[in-house]
Structure 1
Amino acid sequence: MFNSYNRRKKHDTVFLNVKPTFNSQGNGLRKYSTGLLDKEDNPFYDVNSSSGSRASVGTITTLNENFRANIFYNNIAPIQWFLHMLGVLPITRREPGKAKFRINSIAFGYSFAFFILLSVFVTYVAKNRISIVTSLSGPFEEAVIAYLFLVNILPLILIPILWWEARKIAKLWNDWDDFEILYYQISGHSMPLNLRRKTTMIAVILPILSIVSVVITHITMADFQIIQVIPYCILDNLSAMLGAWWFIICESLSTTANILGERFQRALRHIGPAAMVADYRALWLRLSKLTRDTGNATCYTFTFINLYLFFIITLSVYGLMSQLSEGFGIKDIGLAITAIWNVFLLFYICDKAHYASFNVRTNFQKKLLMVELNWMNSDAQTEINMFIRATEMNPSNINCGGFFDVNRNLFKGVSGNVSLEWCNKNYCNLSCSCLPPWSLI
């Protein structure tokens, strides 16, 4: 009896599983999209009309701005191009929504050749460093410095890791293209994401700072050879620019969430159909999925980066504190620069992910809870309640494939462990005053 029972499958939500497409009439715009804008900045408002009425929905195609594609990709493009130069993310993208990772592509061929050449160079440097480590007979500080130089070649592993995750990252880019289309169809405007200047500044300034820090660190060390600085500059730029890439993606999520929240609040000023609220709920669900997919698409990459940064910070701070009682020497400058550089890199990775999750979910929930429902009809009230329920049931945290959440708690844990190392080295107990307040929480 039970075997003959076939459970009816529920219909999937249209906006989550079906790509938005343009149709021949109005480019897929919703009829109420013109009602989302106020009179002052409404491009469809006819200023010459004596009645002061809005333009008709039938003329929306000719009056509305043209759809601008590649908004997200253009915002991250400067950092993306720099990473391509380093042989990272060999993804081909000839048009919006068509990003692919192919082994037989020119991009992958360049990435593979770059990886082989860099591996040969790093192997030569590593052999030299291993010989230095095995012949050490000086103070503990020199041993820490020698081990740091060996650990600093580990970012080479990131290139093949990103080959493994390139397909997921390509899908993430395509999902952003779909989100831009859906945003345009619902709001009547292309997504106003303007981070290109910030991205360009990061892509110019950060590599310079990275090279300067590596050169200063090597100059203050013994057995300095200029030829050995080159691979360290490349690898340090690789980890730094991946952190910047993460930074700008999280910044895009935060900015988009704020834009969507403001647009939704303005939309509620007009008594629109309940379908309008349902569309914004579907749009938010897509944004929430983009937030989760950001962590899932790069889970192994940023799990490795976070572990690498944790190890570098612990080792450099431990070596720095071990010699603090004897005075601050010239070799300590390199350790201090290494510690500060990696602490800031880890901080921005954690802080921006935390901020993105907060804006996508918590901040958006606050705006929903402040909505006045008295003047709405029953259908619109039901949609608002369903919207609030959707934000509760759909997590928007950035999680590295289930290993850990990337947020401020991660940075707090690292700083707490470093503080414990500091205290243990100086024979302090756990309640000593050198521990920062957040490490005791």
Structure 2
Amino acid sequence: MNIGDLADLYGDELHIKQISKWLRGSARAQEILKRAQLDSSDGKTIDEHDQFFRDHKLLLVLFRVLGVMPIQRGEIGRITFGWTSIPMIYAYVFYVVTSILVVLVGYERFDILLNKSRKFDEYIYSIIFIIYLIPHFWIPFVGWGVAYEVCDYKNSWGTFQLHYYKITGKNLKFPLLSTLIIIISMGCLILAAVFLLTLSALLEGFTLYHTTAYLHIITMINMNCALWYINCRAIGNASTALAESFQNDMDRNCVAYIVAHYRVLWLSLSELLQKLGNAYARTYATYSLFMMANITVAVYGFTSEIVDHGVRFSFKEIGLLVDATYCLLLLYVFCDCSHQASLNIADRVQTTLMSVNLNTVKLDARQEIELFLVAIKMNPPKVSLKGYSVVNRELVTSSVATMAIYLIVLLQFKISLVSIRG
């Protein structure tokens, strides 16, 4: 990459003369210029520095096994998707087989709901079990339908990591990420199996064969939460590494050329966070709606039992409470991960910039620091589901408020019916 190319990178030809001066004044800048010659379009070069793919490869395999996200490392250094690829053909077959099981079990659940349920708690459980079957029919829309966007997001990681290496001279690391994925994945599967076997043993009408229809669905729900956590954790690792490297360079080499490079790198990381939200917008929008519906029905069932019979804490009441708590916990983890990732990207880098004594640096470096601060202000890192919703802790409180409104309305109907019967 020559000086003209660097000028194009910043979109301003006036940088050419400045860049010439910066390069003569810093050995560190010369190192960056040498590594900048690495080709970002070369798959082998990308693959060499793509530690994120190597660490979270197991997660991709598990989602292919579930038939949810049939993407693969189809080319060196690139994640690909095709409607006629081998993973996609497997997903078709897996979906047809599981759909047959889901339809059979769903028919039985509807039969219990319409013809066999006599007690209120049986109605509520039947509704919840039907709700749990719905995510299966979303897979083509929220899984396969966003595969190309997910590939673009995953491939952006390779480009970012190579860019990070060009500036810092080190490969990006993700401490304990691969081990964490193994533990979480096993936990998701075990939790789903234990939950379903417990229901089969304790609930009348929930036979062992019913678990075959629910196992992949509940595992998928758990894994979606794990997927989001892993991605947000990885972005947090990247932001921490970027901030530490930037701090070290500012302490030793506070020159305009280096500040400008870190500005571009920071914007790439911020864009990566935005791509995460855009790529999985359908997936996690429906995920959030599912959680809210489940929590609302479960809490309504629990409070209705209290209105009818007082606090007894029977198994069915506890089951409703556990279901609501479990879904609320998954919703909180989803929102909190995004909140933490957004904060991590901006805070430490901004603190480092604000701590630089502008009187001790050259004018061009001071200008680049000001540009960096403006870039942070104008491009606040946030996770947005394609503009429909910003995912942060405020989403938890707004979701709880919405559910509370629906619960109040439902309980008013319930109390009115009790008064009429009385």
Secondary structure at the counterpart of residue 215 of structure 2: helix
Report whether the alignment pairs 1:121 with 2:138: no
Secondary structure at the counterpart of residue 99 of structure 1: strand
TM (norm. structure 1) is 0.80
2:323 counterpart (338, 350, 354):
338
Report whether the alignment pairs 1:182 with 2:144: no
Is the 8 Å Cα contact of residues 217 and 337 (structure 1) preserved in structure 2? no
Alignment match, 1:50:
none
Report whether the alignment pairs 1:211 with 2:193: yes
Percent identity of paired positions between Structure 1 and Structure 2: 28
Alignment match, 2:88:
108
**Cα distance in 2 for residues equivalent to 1:286 and 1:404:** 22
Is the 8 Å Cα contact of residues 218 and 334 (structure 1) preserved in structure 2? no
Alignment match, 1:396:
381
Change (3 A) 1:135 1:67: closer
Alignment match, 1:239:
221
Q: Deviations over 1:327-356 (max 9, x none)?
A: 111222322232222111111101001111
Change (3 A) 1:217 1:320: farther
Change (3 A) 1:14 1:124: farther
1:355 counterpart (317, 340, 345):
340
**Cα distance in 2 for residues equivalent to 1:83 and 1:129:** 27
Alignment match, 1:434:
none
* Residue identity matched to 1:186: I
Is the 8 Å Cα contact of residues 69 and 96 (structure 1) preserved in structure 2? no
Once the two structures are TM-superposed, the CA of residue 137 in structure 1 deviates from its matched residue by 4.7
* Residue identity matched to 1:322: S
1:298 counterpart (234, 256, 280):
280
* Residue identity matched to 1:106: I
Report whether the alignment pairs 1:373 with 2:358: yes
Q: Deviations over 1:363-394 (max 9, x none)?
A: 43233222222211111111010000001111
1:133 counterpart (91, 97, 113):
113
Count residues with an aligned counterpart.
377
2:290 counterpart (308, 322, 339):
308
- Please give the root-mean-square deviation of Cα atoms over the aligned residues, in Å: 2.5
Once the two structures are TM-superposed, the CA of residue 32 in structure 1 deviates from its matched residue by 1.4
Change (3 A) 1:232 1:12: farther
Is the 8 Å Cα contact of residues 257 and 359 (structure 1) preserved in structure 2? yes
Change (3 A) 1:157 1:31: farther
Alignment of 1:40-439 (within 5 A): 68-161=48-141, 162-194=143-175, 195-324=177-306, 325-420=310-405
Richer in helix (by share): 2
Is the 8 Å Cα contact of residues 164 and 172 (structure 2) preserved in structure 1? yes
Change (3 A) 1:387 1:332: same
Return 369-378 or 389-398, whichever deviates more.
Answer: 369-378
Alignment match, 1:22:
none
